[in-house]
Structure 1
């Protein structure tokens, strides 16, 4: 059995779909972190079968809407003095701004670079978002 030390103060990103943890690890640039990070791949899970886990031995700022776009089933545990003080259950955000980009050449955001790319959640089951300006459909996994 793999044994990883407890975190005194930090964050545990849990219930990541197996294989998706590397996206989060890279997005958070944890390979350059000056603190301890544990990245567990394909851990056993009663609920999911297999999952990835990231343990960060520091408190960092995380953009939860982007994390929710990567994998809405994630649970983020905030650890203080070795105790979970907060559990944040992620979900797909209702509205995202400048995370997804519209690919429609007739959209105003395509030619006017100063206009924010705003997408509204259309179908949570499919993870589809609709451009607020032109109704172009993008999916949660399409972010930059």
Structure 2
């Protein structure tokens, strides 16, 4: 398999195996007019396998979404085929409209309002702002 190197763009690395497509879908990377490569089940020294996403354009990325789905991921910024920055992610204090509240009685599922979850501990537990149900 041969995937070209990135001239200007991002390499999202150390994504847990199986989470790459979720990030791809939530970030709507299919809507971009540039090359996007998703590598699943790549060999990893830290873990047995990982996913990698390569985006061959410097577009706006929501790092909070990536951190919520894969907090151990890293985002390498590539310019002129050289890594100029490596962003280590941290869990966002709040997420909005990334996931829906699993509680069918929650107001966010019955009214036209945002689905907001707050980080409640340092283990990555998010709870609904309205009913305090834990995000799945």
TM class by smaller structure: 0.7 to 0.9
Question: After superposition, what is the alpha-carbon deviation per residue over 1:17-56, rounded to whole angstroms, capped at 9, x for unaligned?
Answer: 1121122223334345432222212111111221111111
TM-score by length of 1: 0.78
> Aligned residue for 1:88?
87
Q: Give me the CA root mean square deviation.
A: 2.3
The runs of 5 or more residues in structure 1 that have no matched partner are: 140-144
> Aligned residue for 2:131?
134
Count of aligned residue pairs for this structure pair: 136
> Aligned residue for 1:142?
none
Task: Go from structure 1 to structure 2 and tell me whether the alpha carbon gap of 1:118 and 1:28 turns closer, same or farther (over 3 Å shift).
Answer: closer
Deviation >4 Å, runs of 4+: 105-108
1:19 is paired with a residue whose SS is: coil
Deviation, structure 1 residue 74: 0.9
CA distance in 1, matches of 2:115, 2:26: 20
The runs of 5 or more residues in structure 2 that have no matched partner are: none
CA distance in 2, matches of 1:99, 1:31: 17
Larger radius of gyration: 1
> Aligned residue for 2:47?
48
CA distance in 2, matches of 1:52, 1:133: 34
TM-score by length of 2: 0.82
